[in-house]
Amino acid sequence: MRCNGPGTRVLVAISGGVDSSVAALILKSKGFHVIGVTLKMWDDFLSKDAKAVAEFLDIPHHIVDVSDSFRKEIVSYLVDEYSQGRTPNPCVRCNAEIKFRYLQDIRRKLEVEYVATGHYARISIDPSTGRFLLKKGKDDTKDQSYVLYRLTQHDLASTFFPLGELTKGQVREAASEASIPVANKDESQEICFLSGTDYREFLKKYQNMVIEPGPILDKSGRILGEHRGLPFYTVGQRKGIGIPGTKRLYVTEIDVSRNALIVGEEKDLLSREFEVHDVNWIINPDPRHRMRLGIKIRYNAKEEPGLILPKSRDMAKVIFDKPQRAITPGQSAVFYDDDVVIGGGIIV
């Protein structure tokens, strides 16, 4: 059982946005001793809003520079994945490898009991096993459990998600009623370090990455045109391929070995089976039996039923009941039992 009585110390990640600000507000209003921390992840990072929120809530506030690790582990990962013809999700990796890793380190150094963030997700305890469960947020339109599937039992045991039972509308209302300085701040919809820059332009500038053009092929190997460089494309893309004609063509495969873009019709995007690696199992660390679960293959995708067949502790085969469109290497497949996250991994 987790202690959450008055005076319990909680380290709250404050980004300067509405969600993290209301998370801190809720915990303080419940009698927790709240300590704010802002992780500086990128060179053009601005902490003004985070400082303003901490001052408004009258809580101590720390700024911790993690930009070196962020550059090595997240930015370089994004560049490497695109160079290998995959489409990464840096937010998934960042949550586990940067945000929660550093939050837990800071929590231990400050001798604080818990960490908290403004994610829309929930944590509960399975009474039959005593293990912690990661669950979807109540607001289906804001649920962020997908990007948190890499959290461990250790993470969940010392984490609060104060917004898990709330809708975005309720959070906005709470911010307005409390007159939080960022109550009307727009929500960020992009990868934090791109700052409005298209990721393709970022790739060209980052460490002078060489992006070479190459052939566009149909599935029979016939050359249809020339692509601008493989990182400019992703599986399922239709617009911007640059092939004249009336027939709708889609990117169906990115072949790094030939520096070739493979295109086809929309039906060629459909498939049922794929494998995932680097799997994180939240509840059972070493499942041995097949499981019927709901599966999401991207953050905004609809959950679809299928079979999960574990092949090892960190690999599994996935078989959808029905063919799905544009299963994309590099993205995450996350497995759900109703509203509980069972685990997930990277699509091979």
Q: Is the distance from CB of 114 to CB of 159 less than 8 angstroms?
A: yes
Tell me which of 192, 270, 283, 291 is the catalytic residue.
192
Residues 6 or more apart whose CB falls under 8 angstroms from that of 48 comprise 16
Residues 6+ apart with CB under 8 A from 12: 20, 23, 24, 27, 34, 35, 36, 37, 59, 115, 116, 117
For residue 94, indicate whether it is catalytic.
Answer: yes
Q: Which of 297, 346, 345, 292 is nearest to 324 (CA)?
A: 297
91 given a catalytic annotation: no
Task: Provide φ and ψ at 194, rounded to 5°.
Answer: -80, -25
Strands (E), the chain: 9-13, 33-40, 61-65, 114-116, 121-125, 132-136, 159-160, 214-217, 223-227, 250-255, 260-264, 270-281, 291-296, 304-312, 315-325, 332-337, 340-347
Crossing angle, helix 168-177 and helix 18-29, to 10 degrees? 70
The owner of tokens 């509405």 is: 18
Query: Of these residues, 94, 166, 282, 326, which one is catalytic?
Result: 94
List active site positions: 94, 192
